[in-house]
Chains A and B, each alone.
Chain A
Amino acid sequence: MSNPITSIKLVLLGEAAVGKSSIVLRFVSNDFSENKEPTIGAAFLTQRVNINNNTIKFEIWDTAGQERFASLAPMYYRNAQAALVVYDITKPQSFIKARHWVKELHEQASKDIIIALVGNKVDIIENDESERKVAREEGERLAEEEGLIFFETSAKTAENVNDVFLNIGEKIPLKNDNSSPNDTTITEDQRINLAASANATSEASSCSC
């Protein structure tokens, strides 16, 4: 029953203001705030979740998105087992940046790094589809080509945010046992449990020092 805790070092990359920090805040504290300070350098946060009776501890590096911080990124994605490459579905430029990040990760990061491509801010197009500037298919195609997990999320409404992390979490232990990803259907209960599981509140630490 009590399996050892698996740690996953995960890094978030993407253009400034696409919502990286917001996604992390949503995942770690189930919270959202319109006005957050931009991340200087990088912020570090942790969150534990239970997947199939395995406790997984995410060690999350949330990086600064501005172009000129790119030279610092290797410092944060070194040894990372997983990466979230985030773009804003209302900002085409951010999708181009996402492509670049995927390319860089494939070239520079650990060879078997698991990458999730995340199109954020879907809540914006809920009322007005014309706000969408990056087609879902475009994201899907890139994910297909590069072998990435793909989700469209909203840090604001929490849509799909946990799923991204759980999906990554499932991919990691899969390397050891042969259970198919379909075995781990996440019920709503489990999802709510996520934040509370394994004293998540005390474990979740955010830092912008």
Chain B
Amino acid sequence: MSFFSSLREKTKILDRITESFTPSLTRDEKFKLQYKLPSEEAILDDANADISFISANNAVYDESKKQNGLKGEPVAYIFSGKLYLTSHYLVFKDAFDESSCVLILNISTIKRVERSPSASYSFALMVTLYSSSQLLIQFIGLRYKSEQFCELLKQKLRENIPNAKKLDKFLATCYSEFLISKNVLRRKDILAPRAGLGQHYKYPAHPEMAKEKAKLRLWFEYFKENGENLAIMKNPKFTKLVRIGVPSRMRGEIWELCSGALYLRYAFQGEYERILEENKGKTSQAIDEIEKDLKRSLPEYSAYQTEEGIQRLRNVLTAYSWKNPDVGYCQAMNIVCAALLIYMTEEQAFWCLSNLCDVYVPGYYSKTMYGTLLDQKVFEAFVEEKLPVLNDYIVKHDIQLSVVSLPWFLSLFYTSMPLEYAVRIMDIFFMNGAKTLFQVALAVLKLNADDILQADDDGMFIAIIKNYFRTLGESAHPDSPDIRYRQITKFQELLVTAFKEFSVITDSMIAQGRHRYQKGILENIETFVKKTQVRHMPKTFYLSTDDLSNLYDIYYDSIETHKISMGTGSSNMTFEVFVQFLGKFCDWCKPCQMDKDPAFKKQKEDFLRKIFNNWDSSSLGELTINDVVLGLEKLLTTDLLESMNYFFTLYDSDSDGELQREEVLEMSEGLILLTEPWRSGRLVDFLTKKSIEDDIAEKIVKENGDVIQSMEEIELPTGVVIEEEKYKSEQSERYLKAASSFLQRSFEYAKSLDLSEEVNLIDLSDNEDDSEAKESKRKKFQSLKHNAALDPTHSKVIDLATFRMIILADETYELFFAQTLRLSIHLNEGFATSSTNKVLKSMLDGIIADGKRVAEQVRRRVDSVATRGSVNSLDSGPQTLGGSITRSEDIDDFTSEHLEEHADLLQDSLLDIYDTSDHEGGQTSQQRKLETLKPRPVSEGNKKEDLIEFEA
């Protein structure tokens, strides 16, 4: 699929999106994704090591020593595993069971590193942290490798010194630090750091103080033992504490920590404020959309009935829309963000939202929502696999699962469950990732399966689920005789089902599913988007539906950075892209030899710029697809007057209906540029075509005489040698003349502009044959322009009526506006295949292959001859046929006697086709078969004298 093949490195975000959709990630990518580290944190080195974390607030003491009356030596567990170094982090994971110990430590939290004597290890380091806790690293393996690791670590430590200065300020924003200071250092005077709206407006369904306090204590104990925020060791207890529900005050930081938003916030301090400041007062579509939803985001929560709450929400959503314009704003983000802001400050919520959108649920909120659609598909596949009975039922009753499940995923259950339960799901979601959504969703279906199997339409299905969510706080087993059973709520039951039974749903299964369905989903979206856009294009008269569809393809093919299915990148067209775009299907914009001439190139650019600006309806310096449609519609008009009028308006920059002298000169240059393909003979216009056809027809009639009775009988020579150069130079001559006359007439007819002297100095009508004369003519022409341009006396030159008169005075230019221009725009052909050097060839092919027209010409001639025959007596002299050829032969020249003779002659010519190798100078390409007509059998040995030939 072209989409995939053309995926190039674009933005980090896009990369991450595709990465997380493709099972084959690099080691670095997996590493960053797993530990939620910022994208800069590539692995610099790794080492095998045993580590132990020795807390400064030692929670664990050796009990045996205590009994001896000593304070007791601190004991610490030793973990064996792998240590990684990145530019800003030390990461350790247990080699046997990753869940048993993971350490993530920001290097700027390190105060001191010393070599440590070690009996059993050759090499050990004692790392002391800002908190005075210590980390003992005992390296295993080759000494030089360990030394190397240390060396790198030392280097990074040095580089991190400036960051260390930001540490204190940052730690002051962490609730964990506050908990420790207050309880370990017994500081009563310090205030809790600024937090989310809940701090003042109360947390939703706040548990009794006792429970909150107990949970906070558990976290406090945990931090004492294992460190906190930027230097923390995560072990199974951490997971357990998250699962039982994070206390409201701690929630913001735990979400930040689990999602990696904490690391982003630390790395990019001040970035949030800067984005807001830089974009202050700016407007965008996203901002309009955000504004519409601000009062509709968790409106039942009291803070969102106040300006303070609304303003915070506005700030964060707006900042994100500037940070990631590809996503901008998507409904549902407002609700998710509103939930974050209850527990987090604006800056915290901003980074959390960023990570959520970019890493956790990639593509969910994109302009096409492809991630959402994809995950629905993946979810359906899980349902089919894990809940087959339910799935069969749903399919049989034509119930669409996504109508129910899509909002669960998109708003992370916030619009489905009461807030206090949704935030519990969120605790686990940030810790375990997107699989949480799948697990919970499957559990919801499973727990309601009995009821759903009674539903017979979408409506009942929805009612069942809605009722379930509303009663989550109620007992799951109200009728059980066992009180302990009665006490289990539906929510608890949901969690158990989701995280026990459906723990089989793993990240890699989701990644595989996404990979499997991605192609289909993206193709569907592309088709849908195209259908919609083509449908919504402006009404056109000259562009057919097929044209529009082709135009759409060429348009988006040109804007390579725009991914239709992902909805990323701008879908508007800049001038540079516009030039390439037109070049794909407009003969006069195709790249050509002349482009090498800087003067020509400049003129071309000027002319295209005029069109571009004329089409740019919003004057933003970019075109939309609708601009292009409307613009082409004007160029493609079949109405001669309209076509001329449009060209006039292109140059009438102040639209006063009159062209200034400068504008006329510009216009004449524009015309010269626009007609370049015909002037240079790359293309053939209708006049030339007609004259070629006439010449062929003339020859044929000459050969076949009046023997031809019906079209079927016409025998055309199969070999036609066309003397390209002759027609080319004739046509070129004609266009040059048209250009000269245009300018001449412009100044002749111009009101009160006295240029007659100059004009008369130059004879524009001579018939030069040699190139030297042509060259001098060109020079004269240049000087004419020059003089006219220099004349300062008059400003107004021509109005629209005069312009039209001037054009109509010249057959070539008249034809140009009536037809040539329009026919040089090829929306109905495969645009990719045409290359410049093939144009004339295919043009001639066209003329010859379209034998019908030639045959038509022949017939007209024959008919006319026949007519003459029947009115023999009236005939008295030469007659004009086909407009340009005068025949003087008498009817008697076409008697039956000549029949054989003509037939023979034709055979001669046929021979010639098979004889092309004998011709000099590779004329092969100039020979054309008249395919619509039967060739006669070849007879050997004839000469080529009667070949239909077009030579100078």
Interface residue ranges, A against B (CB under 8 Å): 16-17, 34-42, 44, 46, 59, 64, 66-72, 75-76, 100, 103-104, 107, 205, 207-209
Contacts and interface: CB of A to CB of B under 8 A. Distances in A.
Contact of A40 (B335, B373, B532, B535): B335
Given A40-B332, A71-B525, A209 B368 contact: no
Given A40-B411, A41-B406, A69-B369, A107 B535 contact: yes
Contacts of B292: 16-17, 38
Interface of B: 289, 292-293, 295-299, 305, 330-332, 334-335, 366-369, 373, 400, 402-404, 406-408, 410-411, 415-416, 457-459, 462-463, 465-466, 469, 525, 528-529, 532, 535-536, 567
20 contacts: A35-B296, A35-B299, A37-B296, A37-B298, A37-B335, A38-B293, A38-B296, A40-B406, A40-B407, A59-B459, A68-B330, A68-B366, A68-B368, A70-B532, A76-B403, A100-B535, A103-B535, A104-B532, A205-B459, A205-B466
Chain B CB within 10 Å, residue with most, of A17, A36, A41, A42 = A41
Given A38-B331, A209-B407, A209-B462, 13 more contacts: A35-B305, A39-B331, A40-B335, A40-B410, A41-B406, A44-B462, A66-B289, A69-B331, A70-B532, A71-B525, A72-B406, A76-B403, A100-B535
A208 B332 CA distance: 12
A75 B403 contact: yes
A64 B410 CA distance: 12
A182 to B, nearest CB: 32
Contacts of B529: 71
**Majority secondary structure, B binding face:** helix
A207 B466 contact: yes
B320 to A, nearest CB: 15
A119 B532 CA distance: 23
Contact of A208 (B293, B305, B407, B463): B407
What are the nearest 5 A-B pairs in CB distance? A35-B299, A41-B407, A17-B292, A207-B466, A209-B416
A36 B402 CA distance: 23
A11 to B, nearest CB: 11
Nearest to A59: B459
Nearest to B404: A209
Contacts of A36: 296, 299
Given A44-B403, A59-B459, A68-B367, A16 B469 contact: no
Contacts of B462: 44, 205, 207, 209
Contacts of A66: 289, 330-331
Contact of A209 (B408, B459, B536): B408
Contact of B463 (A17, A40, A64, A207): A207
Contacts of A207: 462-463, 465-466
A28 B298 CA distance: 22
B528 A37 contact: no
B459 A44 contact: yes
B710 to A, nearest CB: 48
Contacts of A205: 459, 462-463, 466
Contacts of A41: 402-403, 406-407, 410
A17 B335 CA distance: 16
B412 to A, nearest CB: 10
B463 A71 contact: no
Contacts of A104: 532, 535
Contacts of B459: 44, 46, 59, 205
A41 B567 CA distance: 18
A41 B373 CA distance: 11
A15 to B, nearest CB: 9
Contacts of B567: 68
A127 to B, nearest CB: 22
Contacts of A16: 289, 292-293, 331
A189 to B, nearest CB: 29
Contact of B536 (A17, A44, A100): A100
B465 A209 contact: yes
A71 B410 CA distance: 14
B332 A71 contact: no
Nearest to B466: A207
B514 to A, nearest CB: 18
A46 B288 CA distance: 32
Chain B CB within 10 Å, residue with most, of A71, A75, A76, A104 = A71
B415 to A, nearest CB: 5
Chain A CB within 10 Å, residue with most, of B462, B465, B469 = B462
A44 B455 CA distance: 15
B536 A103 contact: yes
A64 B415 contact: no
A175 to B, nearest CB: 21
A39 B335 CA distance: 11
Nearest to B329: A66
Contacts of B296: 35-38
Contacts of A69: 331, 369
B857 to A, nearest CB: 45
A37 B415 contact: yes
B626 to A, nearest CB: 12
A72 B371 CA distance: 13
A134 B288 CA distance: 20
Nearest to B305: A35
Nearest to B535: A103
A208 B525 contact: no
B299 A37 contact: yes
Contacts of B410: 40-41
Chain A CB within 10 Å, residue with most, of B334, B369, B408 = B369
A41 B465 CA distance: 15
B295 A34 contact: yes
Given A36-B296, A107-B535, A209 B415 contact: yes
A149 B399 CA distance: 29
Contacts of B298: 37
Nearest to B465: A209
A39 B332 CA distance: 8
A29 to B, nearest CB: 15
Given A100-B536, A207-B463, A40 B331 contact: yes
B299 A38 contact: no
A71 B373 contact: yes
B330 to A, nearest CB: 6
Chain A CB within 10 Å, residue with most, of B296, B369, B465 = B296
Nearest to A108: B531
Contacts of B416: 208-209
A160 B331 CA distance: 29
A45 to B, nearest CB: 9
Chain A CB within 10 Å, residue with most, of B334, B410, B459 = B459
Contact of B369 (A46, A72, A208): A72
A8 B665 CA distance: 67
Nearest to A209: B416
B781 to A, nearest CB: 50
Given A38-B293, A40-B407, A66-B331, A208 B536 contact: no
A13 to B, nearest CB: 13
A65 B459 CA distance: 21
A40 B536 contact: no
Nearest to B398: A79
Contacts of A17: 292-293
A38 B407 contact: no
A37 B466 CA distance: 16
Contacts of A70: 532
A63 B297 CA distance: 17
A201 to B, nearest CB: 14
A66 B285 CA distance: 11
A192 B462 CA distance: 27
Contacts of A40: 331-332, 335, 406-407, 410-411, 415
